[in-house]
Amino acid sequence: MGAYVSRAECQSHYNVTLNCTIRARKNGTIYALGNIAKHEFEGDGDIAGIGIFSTFIGVTSFALLLSFVVVILGMIKHRIFPFQRCGDGFVLEDNTTAPSKKKIKPGVSEIFQAMVLSCSDAQIFTGAAYALTLRYFRGCTITAYHYNIVANLMLLTCATHLMAITVVRNYWEYAWLALFRVICKTGVFLVTGLLLSNQNADLKDVFPTKIPPAGDTKTPLFLAAACFQSNETELGTTIRTSLMAENAKNAFLFSTPANRIEGWNKFLIILLWYIVAVAMEVAMFIRKGNRRNGYRKRMVEAFWRVMQRTIRHLKWIGHYVLTIYYLCGIGICMWTVAESGNYVGKLKQWVQDSGWLKPNEYGLNPENDATSFGQLVPIFTSGLVLFTFLEMISSKSLLTYLVDPG
C-alpha cells in the first residue's frame, strides 16, 4: 500500500479507466454511479460479508474479554482493590504466612494471555490479505462503501494487536519472535493509516464516509473509491496536520483532519498508545533481564538504587501505575470495538435498505451469506485460538503429572 491510489494512477500503472460519472435527475436523485445502475450493485461477501464482519467483531471482542479478566486477576494478585488492604496499611505481603508450593504454570492468567496473543496472530493474516488485495488487485475497483468497511475492520485488527502487546506480560519471552510480531503489527498499523489517510484527498468530490440518512438518494457511496483519492495525500502529512494545536480538536474529537475520516480519531489514539505500549514492553524486557548477569541486570540495579531513595512505596505505586496502564489500553480498545462495529453494522444495514443492492437468486442480500470461500477461511483461521487453549491446557496437565505423578 506504499503508493496512493488515484484515478490517474489506475490509468497509467494498471491500465484501468475509471468511470466516475454521477448521473442524477433534476431533483438531485442519483440513478447511476459510473457503470452501476440502481438495483444493480453487486455485493462482495469476501469484503463485507456477514461472516467476515462477525469474525472480526467476535475475535476482537473475545480478546477484549480475556484481556479484562487478565487485568482483574492481576489486580487481585497484587492486592489493588481497597478491600484487600483493610487493616494492613501499605503492607503488600504477609510475611507470617507459610511459603506456598511452587506454582504450576501455566495458570489461568497465562492461558488467557496466550489466547489473546493467538487472537492477535490470527488477525495478522487476515489484515495482510486485505492489504495485499487492495494494493495489487482491487485498489482501482473497490467501491467507497467497501473501502469504508475494510478501513474499519482494519481498525478492529489494530485494537486486537494493541490488547495483545498491552496485557501479555510474557510478550518478550522469545525476543526474536516478539520482534517479528512487532514488525508485522507495525506494518498493519501503517497500512491502516494509509487506508484512512487516502480518504483525506483535497478534491472537489470528497470521500463519502458518513452513513447516509434513511431514504437518501444523493450519496455516491457506490462509486469506485479511487474516484475520491489522490496520490498527493500522505500519511505522515495527515498525522502531523492532525497533531497541530489548531487541528487537534477536530482530529481527535470529530475525526476531521480535513475531510471527515470515519475512525481517524480512533486510529490516532491507538497509534499513540501503541507507541507507549512498545516502550513499556521494552522496559519490562529490560527489567526481566535482572534474573541473570548482563547489561539488563546492571540497568535494573542502577534504576532501583536511584528510585528507592526517592519513592518509599515504589513497588506499591508501580502496581497501580501498571493497572491504570492496562485499563486505559483496554478502554481504548473497547471504544474502538463499539464504535467501529456500530459503524460497519449500520452502514451494511443502510446499503441493504437503499435499493441499490442486487439480490441473489433467492432474493436476499448476497453479503448475508457466510458460505463463500473468502469468508470461510478467516472464520476457520479464528479457530487457532481454540488450538492455543487446548495446547495450554495440555501443557498444564503434563506439568501437573510430572510434579505429582501419583
What pLDDT score does 95 carry? 43
Sequential DSSP letters for 246-272: HHHHHHHHHS-SSS--TTHHHHHHHHH
Q: Per-residue pLDDT for 86 more than 70?
A: no
**pLDDT (tens digit, 9 = 90+) per residue, 296-327?**
666 666 666 655 555 555 566 767 888 889 99
* Of 113-117, 220-224, 331-335, 368-372, minimum mean pLDDT range: 368-372
Question: Please, which pLDDT band fits residue 120 given cuts at 50, 70 and 90?
Answer: very high
pTM score: 0.85
User: Residue 165 contacts by C-beta under 8 Å, 6 or more apart in sequence?
Assistant: 120, 171, 182, 185, 274, 277, 278, 281
What pLDDT score does 395 carry? 65
Neighbour-count burial of 381, counting CB atoms closer than 10 A to its CB (0-12 exposed, 13-18 middle, 19+ buried): middle
Length of the chain: 406
Helix axes 264-288, 235-243, angle to 10 degrees: 90
* The three three-digit cell numbers of residue 221, written as one number: 457511496
Q: Per-residue pLDDT for 403 more than 60?
A: no
Q: Per-residue pLDDT for 286 more than 60?
A: yes
Across the chain, mean pLDDT equals: 82
Q: How far apart are the first and last CA of the chain?
A: 58
Question: Please, which pLDDT band fits residue 81 given cuts at 50, 70 and 90?
Answer: low
What pLDDT score does 90 carry? 42
What pLDDT score does 3 carry? 45
Mean predicted confidence (pLDDT) in 20-46: 92
Mean predicted confidence (pLDDT) in 83-94: 49
Question: Is the separation of the CB atoms in 178 and 171 below 8 Å?
Answer: yes
Q: Per-residue pLDDT for 1 more than 70?
A: no
Q: Per-residue pLDDT for 287 more than 80?
A: no
Q: Per-residue pLDDT for 89 more than 50?
A: no
The better pLDDT of the pair 297, 264 is held by 264
Mean predicted confidence (pLDDT) in 60-64: 94
What pLDDT score does 351 carry? 95
Q: What's the Cα-to-Cα distance from 377 to each of 47, 57, 76, 369, rounded to whole Å?
A: 12, 16, 39, 14
What pLDDT score does 42 carry? 92
What pLDDT score does 96 carry? 42
* Of 49-58, 138-147, 286-295, 343-352, minimum mean pLDDT range: 286-295
Residue 351's nearest CA partner among 208, 222, 226, 195 is: 222
Question: Is the separation of the CB atoms in 140 and 10 below 8 Å?
Answer: yes
**pLDDT (tens digit, 9 = 90+) per residue, 150-189?**
999 999 999 999 999 999 888 887 888 888 998 989 999 9
Beta strands 22-24 and 36-37 are unpaired
